[in-house]
């Protein structure tokens, strides 16, 4: 069930199998192989999802890869719209970019928001997108050995998550800031 700001109310059911995290070295990103996504509405006309999908597909066509965006209507207690675009590259984790609707914001602008982030990621030769960069920290901090990955943008979320993990775990986590615009940063978990 979807939940939209400010009311919330989303619900997700997940089943997780036991496992042990393992370190990774994600320094390079292979070629873009495809883009998939979801354009969704809740409590609103599905034509809004269609407009977001079409806008994103038109803007991403120049990348020359398969683009498949599903239109969906989510159950929710309140109205809302969102689009998620997932860029898949050889040799690394998928990168996800989201556009969120709000009252008075055209559906095309919602799609443009996600496309703009995706295109910015494609312009930097990093293995991991800025949203996944901070999400990878905790499992890698719990994994034995070292890990390292390049990131297209060093964000405040990334810095904050590093500081939070350091407050609870005795783990040496280093962030190397890019020296020039358009260069990737790097996160390293030093082997213990």
Inter-CA distances, 92 with 27, 33, 130, 134, Å = 9, 11, 14, 15
From the candidates 77, 89, 131, 157, give the one annotated as an active-site residue: 157
Count Cα atoms within 13 angstroms, Cβ side, for 60.
Answer: 32
Tracing tokens 């940063």 back to the chain, one arrives at: 185
SS3 of 42, please? strand
Asked if 148 contacts 25 with a C-beta cutoff of 8 angstroms, the reply is yes
Tokens of 6: 């400010």
Sign, CA torsion 1/83/159/18: positive
- Give catalytic status of residue 77 as yes or no: no
d(CA 155, CA 157): 5
Q: Which residues are catalytic?
A: 157
């Amino acid at each position: 069930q979807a939940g939209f700001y400010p009311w919330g109310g989303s619900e997700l059911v997940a089943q997780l199998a036991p496992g042990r995290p393992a370190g990774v070295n994600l320094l390079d990103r292979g070629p873009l192989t495809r883009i998939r996504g979801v354009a969704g509405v809740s409590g609103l006309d599905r034509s809004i999802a269609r407009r977001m999908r079409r806008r994103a597909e038109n803007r991403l066509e120049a990348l020359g890869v398969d683009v498949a965006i599903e239109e969906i209507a989510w159950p929710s207690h309140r109205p809302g719209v969102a689009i998620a675009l997932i860029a898949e590259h050889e040799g690394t984790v998928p990168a996800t970019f989201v556009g969120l609707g709000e009252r008075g914001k055209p559906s095309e602008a919602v799609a443009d928001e996600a496309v703009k982030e995706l295109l910015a990621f494609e312009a930097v030769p990093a293995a991991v997108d800025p949203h996944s960069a901070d999400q990878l920290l905790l499992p890698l901090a719990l994994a034995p050995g070292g890990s390292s990955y390049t990131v297209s943008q060093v964000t405040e979320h990334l810095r904050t998550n590093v500081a939070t993990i350091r407050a609870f775990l005795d783990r040496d986590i280093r962030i190397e800031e890019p020296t020039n615009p358009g260069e990737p940063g790097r996160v390293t978990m030093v082997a213990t």
